[in-house]
Each structure stands twice: as structure tokens, then as C-alpha cells.
Amino acid sequence: MVDRRTFMKASAAAVAAGGALLEQAAPALGSSAPLETGAGPGRASVEVPNGSKLPFKRVGGVKVFHLIAEPVQHQMVPGMDLECWGYNGSTPGPLIEVVEGDRVRIYVTCNLPAPTSVHWHGIMLPNGMDGVSGLTQAPIRPGETHKYEFTFTHPGTYMYHPHYDDMTQMALGMMGMIVVHPKAPPRIDRDFALMLSTWFVEPGTRRPDPARMSDFNMLTFNSKSFPGTAPLVVNKGQRVRIRFGNLSAMDHHPIHFHGLRLKVVATDGGAIPEAGQWPETTVLVPVGTTRDVEFVPEIPGDWPMHCHMSHHGMNQMGHAQSLLGTDAGRIKRALTEAGQRVMVMGSTGMGEHGRHLRHMAHPENSVPMLGMEGPFGYIDMGGMFTLLKVREGLKSYEDPGWYRHPPGSQAGVATSAELARDGIELEVDAED
């Protein structure tokens, strides 16, 4: 028998050899009209940080899309380039953006070494369009193109993914989001879509491990880990919506916002009536669901937005064993006496050593620690972490750089005069 890993490696040649056949199998969408994206007039079009949208054409009143399931080369974070599977050259696949009532025809071409299918997660549609291989349709085999056609009858935030060998194909990156705008849109100034997912990548390798069921070591927004995540840039006072979809294998994600309060306004089951909404600073996004949150930022700054499961704010080799509480000096002496040249770190935690660990010897194509240099030192975060950058009077939503704090609005070292004024007495170590 051939195991899954051997099959994947051996199949790469077959994919290349089938390229000409797949070009013939892919439908020609024609050139009678330019490709379109966007939500339509009067609606804030959804933005996909680090991602893209799927273009379409109008043919006889139907919006026609083309998804291509294929191997993709993906940089999850600088220093880590992976061999994934996805759609149209990316993971997650491009966002499908439509309006309530739209009739769509979606062609799906399989350019993989294995069959696949596409399930339209949360969408109300005819049973034969649901995309469950073996139950509602035959699998889409390598070189084939299948057609799905249905009408989006309910507005909301949804997802798409395979329902063929789900564990393998989703773990390799095959997933995407769908936004169906209501016919009568509410006022939204900035609208973002973020897919949450978890991965295990063995240090030194290039392909995620689909068989891993726990201790995922790469956690991502739109398949990017910090510091590879793009910031979300907004103006103070704007109404902002963020749509989260979670197709992680096992983990729910409590996404915490600094510096603002939000309300959960919708799930993939529909909009939540205003009377049923309440203020939060954290939204829990369970596996297999979507959550839409809205807020109006009031305080300018660079505000973190991250999963509050502490291990989800780390990258790959930050998940290694901790030396907290050990005598680093004794460990180093013992290893040196054994003929090893070492630098022992982490006996008081890893935060203070993050920048150094990036430069230590580690397997090629791996992320040794986490974080990046910030305006005041090293930001010792990674994984499912990004920044919401709130400013006043922005004319462009390009990254505005680091926030400049007004005088007197930033924490700093307390002076002896300040301590004395407020009656704060510090104990002094006798050895000092």
C-alpha cells in the first residue's frame, strides 16, 4: 500500500503532466464583458486582508464564477514558504461576494492529484448542489470541471470547502468565505473578512501535516501568521464590520479586541435582532461557524486584535518545551562540558529572548520564535494576531505606520519624584 504522504509527493508529476488536459477542461467564460468584483452600488465592498476576491461575468442574468482547486505556493509568514492546496492560486481561496437574490453559476475545475468537491457551508440551496461527494454528487476527479448553479436567498457570511477527504484537503488550506449582501444594506463604512485556521508544520518541512489533531503550531488570519498579517486600517468614528469564519480542525477562537467595544450582529444562521445583541470586547468563533461583529472605534492608536488562547499567539517553534524556572547557567555548563556549544534561553520565559531566537540556528524554512520589532521594542506575539490601526482624518487606507502618542498619553518609567509624591515606597534588595 502507498501512504498518504508518498501519494502526495508522487502525484506532483501527474499534476504537471495533466496541465494541457486541464486547460481544455476549464470552461471558457468568454470575453464579451469585463470581469467584475464588488458588492454593487450603495454597499461597502468587503476587503480581504492578505487575500482576494473571485471575479465573475454576467451571462444572461446569471453571475458566472470559476473556482480552480489546485496546489499553491504560500508564504505563511516571512521565512516560511509552504506547499499547500487552495483555490485560484491562494489559501484561503478568493472571497465570493454577491447580493441577496443573485443567481450564480460556479464552475469548479479540479487541478489536484486527488478528487474533490465544494460544499457551500451554510447556504440554503437544492440538495444536489450541496457538494457532499458520494451523497449529493460524484466527486470532481482530476481534470474534470463540475457546474454548480443556485440562487443566494439569504444574506449573511458563509464559507466554502471540500466535502471529499475533508481532513486532508482542509488541513492543506482548501477553504474560503462567501458574503451575501442584503438587498437593503445597512450603513457600513469598512467591511473586512477574516478566515481563522490552524495548521501543523513540522520544523524544516514545507507541507502542513493533515494527520495532526492537536497542538497546532501555526495559527492564522487568512492563512497568515503575525508578523505576516496585514493591519486593518480605519478612521475614528467609522462603522466597521469584521466577518470571522472558522474552519480550524479542532479549535474555537476567542478573538479579543483592545481599545474598543463591539456587538455580535450576525452568525451564519442570520442576523441577530438588535434587542438580542450585547456589548463585548471578545467574540468566540466556534469551529464551523461565522460571526459578524460591528463597532465604532473611538480612540486612535495601534490596537491588537488576537485570539486569547495564549498558545494561539505563538508561531511554530515557540511551541517547544519551556525552561521556565530552570537554572540556565547550570544547563549551559553541563552541555559545554559535554562538548556542546549552546546558548540557553527561556529560564524566565521567552518574551525577553524573542528577537535573539530569530537569529539562532534552526531548520531551514521554519519560524524559530515569534513577533517583530515595534516602535518601543520587540513585540513578542505571533500566530493569530494582527493590528487594528485607528486614525483620524485618513485620506488613504494604506498602512499609516506606527501611531504617535500625544504627550502625556503613554506609560513610562516612574520617576522618584512621582513615587514620593504619591507615597509609593519600594523595597530595596539588601544585596543592591
Q: What is the pLDDT of residues 273-299, one digit of tens each?
A: 999 999 999 999 999 999 999 999 999
* Amino acid occupying residue 158: Y
For 182-209, b where at least 16 C-beta lie within 10 A, e where not — what string?
eeebeebebbbbbbbbbbbbebeebbbb
Please write the tens of the pLDDT for every residue from 127-155: 999 999 999 999 999 999 999 999 999 99
pLDDT at 22: 32
Least confident of 79-93, 130-144, 170-184, 368-382: 368-382
pLDDT at 109: 98
The grid cell for 418 is 512621582
Which pLDDT band holds residue 21 (cuts at 50, 70, 90)?
very low
Residues in Cβ contact with 228 at an 8 Å cutoff, skipping those fewer than 6 apart: 50, 75, 76, 77, 78
DSSP class of residue 78?
T
pLDDT, tens only, 305-361: 999 876 766 666 554 444 444 455 554 555 456 554 444 445 445 544 554 455 555
Residue 375's closest CA among 398, 350, 403? Answer: 403
Cα–Cα distance for residue pair 127/9, rounded to 1 Å: 35
Res 342: pLDDT = 44
- Of 351 and 171, the one with more pLDDT: 171
> Looking at 200-278, which runs of residues are DSSP E strands?
218-221, 232-235, 240-246, 253-257, 262-267, 270-271
Alpha carbon distance 315, 311 (integer Å): 9
Higher pLDDT, 418 or 14: 418
pLDDT tens per residue across span 225-279: 999 999 999 999 999 999 999 998 888 899 999 999 999 999 999 999 999 999 9
What nine digits make up the cell of 62? 446569471
* Nearest CA among 242, 92, 238 for reference residue 160: 92
Mean pLDDT of the chain: 84
Residues 6+ apart with CB under 8 A from 398: 233
Nearest-CA neighbor of 112 among 136, 79, 133, 139? 139
Contact status, residue 74 vs residue 80, Cβ threshold 8 Å: no
Cα(312)–Cα(213) distance, integer angstroms: 15
Residue ranges of domains in the chain, CATH in brackets: 40-307 (2.60.40.420)
Return the pLDDT at 317. 54
Q: What is the pTM of this model?
A: 0.83
